[in-house]
């Protein structure tokens, strides 16, 4: 592999990270639900630290938090894509948005259960 080719590859890797971070920034700036998740996640992390939860419990909490953010961002991307494709009301547009919203709800329920199982016994 030539030096030039190697440096092109590195710069495209840097670019990919750049756009990905810009995507996270855009989602955090424009999406109300993601702002709410940021607040809830911060409180959860503080609780975890205060109640000295175990490493396995941390793994579950971090899985719940990162998964919720990931799905919320994918949901936002789907909403934007649908809006870009059509401004008209369309049953498939409705299904696409509703299914994506349903995916977020399923994972959010999992996250609530994780939080309840870990924190409730330590609080009461
Ligand atoms: N193009 C569309 N065709 C049919 N139903 C739609 C369409 N866009 C949105 N919906 C329905 O509205 C719900 C909310 O969609 P979305 O969050 O994008 O808000 P919106 O209806 O576009 O308007 P607003 O952003 O002001 O709430 C979707 O889950 C879906 O049920």
Q: How far is the CA of 47 from the centre of ligand 1 (A)?
A: 35
Cβ < 6 A, ligand 1 pocket: 79, 86, 89-90, 93-94, 97-98, 101
pLDDT of residue 65: 98
pLDDT of residue 94: 98
Do the Cβ atoms of 72 and 33 come closer than 8 Å? Answer: yes
Q: Which position among 60, 65, 72, 73 bears the catalytic label?
A: 72
ipTM tops 0.90: no
* Token output for 90: 């369309």
- The domain locations on the chain are 1-30, 32-123
Atom nearest to 91 CA in ligand 1: 4
Atom nearest to 101 CA in ligand 1: 29
pLDDT of residue 2: 67
Do the Cβ atoms of 72 and 104 come closer than 8 Å? Answer: yes
pTM of this prediction exceeds 0.90: no
pLDDT of residue 1: 59
Helices and strands in the chain: count of H runs, count of E runs: 4, 0
User: What's the length of the chain?
Assistant: 124
Assess whether 5 carries a catalytic annotation: no
Q: How far is the CA of 65 from the centre of ligand 1 (A)?
A: 26
Q: Tens digits of per-residue pLDDT, 71-103? A: 999 999 999 999 999 999 999 999 999 999 999
CATH of domain 32-123: 1.10.287.3610
* Full pLDDT tens readout for the chain, 124 residues: 566 777 777 789 999 999 999 999 999 999 999 999 999 999 999 999 999 999 999 999 999 999 999 999 999 999 999 999 999 999 999 999 999 999 999 999 999 999 999 999 998 8
């Amino acid at each position: 592999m030539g030096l030039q080719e190697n440096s092109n590859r590195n710069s495209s890797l840097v670019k990919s990270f750049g756009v990905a971070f810009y995507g996270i920034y855009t989602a955090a700036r424009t999406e109300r639900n993601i702002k709410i998740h940021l607040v809830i996640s911060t409180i959860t992390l503080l609780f975890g630290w205060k109640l000295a939860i175990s490493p396995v419990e941390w793994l579950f909490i971090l899985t719940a938090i990162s998964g919720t953010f990931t799905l919320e961002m994918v949901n936002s991307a789907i909403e934007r894509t649908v809006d870009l494709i059509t401004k008209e009301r369309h049953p498939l547009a409705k299904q696409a948005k509703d299914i994506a919203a349903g995916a977020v709800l399923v994972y959010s329920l999992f996250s609530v259960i994780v939080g309840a199982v870990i924190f409730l016994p330590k609080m009461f």
